[in-house]
Every structure is written in C-alpha cells, then in structure tokens.
Amino acid sequence: MSHKPGKKYEAAAKQVEAKPYQLAEAVTLVQKIKFTKFDETVEVHMRLGVDPKHADQMVRGTVVLPNGLGKSKRVLVIASGDKLREAEDAGADFVGGEDAVTRIQNENWIDYDAVIATPDMMRSVGRLGKILGPRGLMPNPKTGTVTTDVRTAVNEIKAGKVEFRVDKTGVIHAPVGKVSFASDKLLENTNSLIQAVIRAKPSAAKGKYVKSATLCSTMGPGVQLDVAAFNLKTA
C-alpha cells in the first residue's frame, strides 16, 4: 500500500537541496523543517562498505551519547542475590530473577527498553531468545548488557547509551536525540555516534567505508551528509 506524501512533508522536502550537507548544517536543517506536533526522534542512517554476511565484516558497538536521548529508558535487570539490590539502587525500573524470565515467557512481557543480565542468569535468559531477540533486547556481553557490574550498565543505559549494528543490507540506523534539543547538543550526539561507527570499522572492510549517510527526524525527509570527512578518518 503506497500513500502519497502529505503537503507538509512535500513542503519540508522542498527545503532540502539534493546535495551533501556538512553535519552542523544538516542538524539545523532537520530541526528547521520539522512539521509534526510531537517531539520527533532524530536518526542517523549510514550505508557502509561492508558485507555483513561475513562475520569479520560485522559492525556493531555501543556509544554513550554525551547529551542522552531525551527520554529515560526503562531498564529490566535479571539477576540473583546481592545483584538484585545493586540493580534497584542503581535505578533499574524492573528487577527480578527466574520470576522475570517466567513472566516474559508466559505473558510475552516486553514493557521495557533494555535488558541487563548477570552471567549466572544467562542459562535461563537464553530461553527468551525468540521473544527478546527480534526486538533487539537480548542481553549480550559485547554490548555490556551481560555483566556483573550491574550499576555501571544501568547508569550507562539511563545516560543515553545507544547500541548500533549493521543490518543485512549494510546499513546502520541509530537514534541521536530529539528535534527539540539545542542544535549544539544534537550535533555533539550525532558526531559521537558517527565517530563510534568509524572506530568500529572492521579490518576486513575494503574500499570506501561510509558510502552514504543521512540525517532525518521520524517523519521528516532525509538530509544527505557529506561523508568525505568521515572516510578521511578511516583511510
């Protein structure tokens, strides 16, 4: 089902020239052409010169955005013993052990934005792959969500930690803040995310690493970014 873009979208799109923009210009433009009533999320989309079918060209990682994401994430911690109290003290929204695993299994409970688990609980948490996996909620040691340092993990997620991973078409999609942010804060966040993706470049990736990049708000048109500067850093 295709639907015609609305008049407001078209008016916004007309303000975007078909040229690559410097990052600071792009941030200001995305904020200027916003046309919806709600506070949209601003996202970065980066097409990378990697083939994610090869394990050695997988790009994934995390970055704590300096200015957060504008909404506090609801965090579930699945732990046992003293770690349950540590999670509560750190400000986790939901804390549990086997009871939490059972609730997710039986009720398909997914009322949270991130899951942290202690290593001793991973045998139970492993059963939740079908529910948590497709939603990107499965705890993983690589992204710091399987850990004994529950306090740090909760603090980082609450502070605006973003996880990124290349999808099967070689694209990374990641949020960098809200349209209502001060432009300099949004710019700082966007830059932090892009630098993290550049640092995550696999050694097996050949040729141009960042093929193209776009900045857009949830409902708004995409603004093309000048990727020449990004590629200089990876050359």
Domains of the chain: 7-69+161-234 (3.30.190.20), 75-158 (3.40.50.790)
Give the model's pLDDT for residue 4.
64
Strand 210-217 relative to strand 41-48, pairing: antiparallel
| pLDDT confidence of residue 111 | 93
- Per-10-residue mean pLDDT of the chain, 235 residues long, equals 74 92 95 91 95 91 90 92 95 96 96 95 96 92 93 92 91 94 95 95 91 94 90 66
What pLDDT was estimated at residue 143? Answer: 85
Q: Are 211 and 47 in contact (CB under 8 A)?
A: yes
Which pTM does this prediction carry? Answer: 0.78
Do 218 and 41 touch, CB atoms closer than 8 A? Answer: yes
In sequence order, the β-bridge partners of residue 114 are 75
Task: Report d(CA 212, CA 209) in Å as an integer.
Answer: 9
Contacts of 211 (CB under 8 A, 6+ apart): 47, 48, 49, 170, 227
Supply the pLDDT for residue 233.
65
